[in-house]
Chains A and B, each alone.
Chain A
């Protein structure tokens, strides 16, 4: 299995609070991705990074920000969580452009916002 660790694995928090999810990789891959998975929607891309300090928006980026200060860490922040952001969040990595090669996924963070 690719060395991808997501933390925390589960979190329950209240509306309006800030939340940060962490993705840590040991593969030294250039690309990192954050997805959310919801019933009826499959996986949707939130943000991705193609290098340290290089990030871009995905399909559902509103309400989310990301940061990548080191190759191995990609952080997803919900500045002020809303109930609509209750979801399972997956981090993925790929050695280079993820559209041209497989992506490897972590086991997800289940986030509940009450």
Chain B
């Protein structure tokens, strides 16, 4: 069963706009991670946010975590065509040991 669910499933924006993707999950977690996947390639790690953190930044990326609502968001500011990719959240559940559970992803298209 899927732990994380991303919303929206697909997002199309213009270059320079901000893109926001959301992830909801069901059980208590140790941390939540965001990954990017370009077409035909493997996943690339973007950010890890621990359960006791509320916000984290990395360059143009901003991730928030609300454990009371069991949700997270990924904001990409000033998007570029090169940001076109699928974005996945992955949760490390408290009871899952070494395993991550991935959502189905958001397909982001940034139009030049």
Contact = CB atoms under 8 A, between A and B. Distances in A.
A71 to B, nearest CB: 16
Nearest to B9: A40
A100 B30 CA distance: 8
Nearest to B30: A99
B100 interface: yes
Contacts of A45: 99-101
Interface stretch (B14-22, B42-50, B61-69): B42-50
A101 to B, nearest CB: 7
Given A35-B102, A99-B31, A105-B43, 10 more contacts: A4-B42, A41-B2, A42-B102, A45-B100, A48-B99, A92-B42, A99-B93, A100-B30, A103-B45, A108-B42
A114 interface: no
A59 to B, nearest CB: 8
A-B complex: 6 closest residue pairs judged by Cβ atoms: A105-B42, A99-B92, A102-B45, A43-B102, A42-B104, A97-B98
A98 B99 contact: yes
Interface of B: 2, 30-31, 33, 40-45, 48, 88, 90, 92-93, 96-105
Given A40-B104, A42-B104, A98 B43 contact: no
Contacts of A31: 98
A97 B44 CA distance: 17
A34 interface: no
Interface residues of A, number: 27
B92 A100 contact: yes
Contact of B42 (A41, A44, A50, A106): A106
A69 to B, nearest CB: 20
Contacts of A14: none
